[in-house]
Amino acid sequence: KQEVTQIPAALSVPEGENLVLNCSFTDSAIYNLQWFRQDPGKGLTSLLLIQSSQREQTSGRLNASLDKSSGRSTLYIAASQPGDSATYLCAGGNYGQNFVFGPGTRLSVLP
């Protein structure tokens, strides 16, 4: 059974810093991986989906990578802004199976 972890649970950085959020998974047969953003009291918004044939995806200041052999995915946020403050969750899915979610990293970007 796929298990997904995210460390640290919380992170504070000053505005303008580049930062990396980490996601680890136990089963290297992972088929795809998705990163989400969750604002307080809100639902999840899909940010990036890395499908099995891909190693990374980019959207604006966000870049997500997937390394199946090491069991890791990273979300890179360039030039962080206070508006990036939110909880970021990753979710991994094996082929034909539902996504398994990590517990999330709560990010605070300080002005």
Q: What is the DSSP letter of 59?
A: E
| Closer Cβ to another protein, 57 or 65, answer by number | 57
Q: Which of 25, 73, 102, 109 binds another protein (CB under 8 A)?
A: 102
* Per CB under 8 A, 104 contacts another protein: yes
Q: Which of 24, 71, 94, 99 binds another protein (CB under 8 A)?
A: 99
| Closer Cβ to another protein, 36 or 75, answer by number | 36
The alpha helices in 66-107, defined as continuous H runs, are none
Please answer whether residues 77 and 84 qualify as being in contact, where contact means their C-beta atoms are separated by less than 8 angstroms.
Answer: yes
Q: What is the DSSP letter of 42?
A: S
Give the angle 54-79-33 at the CA atoms, nearest 5°: 25
| Closer Cβ to another protein, 90 or 109, answer by number | 90
Of 74, 103, 94, 105, nearest to 4 by C-alpha is: 103
Task: With H, G, I as helix, E, B as strand and everything else as coil, classify residue 78.
Answer: coil
* Per CB under 8 A, 16 contacts another protein: no
Q: Which of 41, 60, 83, 111 binds another protein (CB under 8 A)?
A: 41
Task: Provide the binding-site residues for another protein, judged by CB under 8 A.
Answer: 4, 9, 32, 34, 36, 41-46, 49, 51, 89, 91, 93, 98-99, 101-104
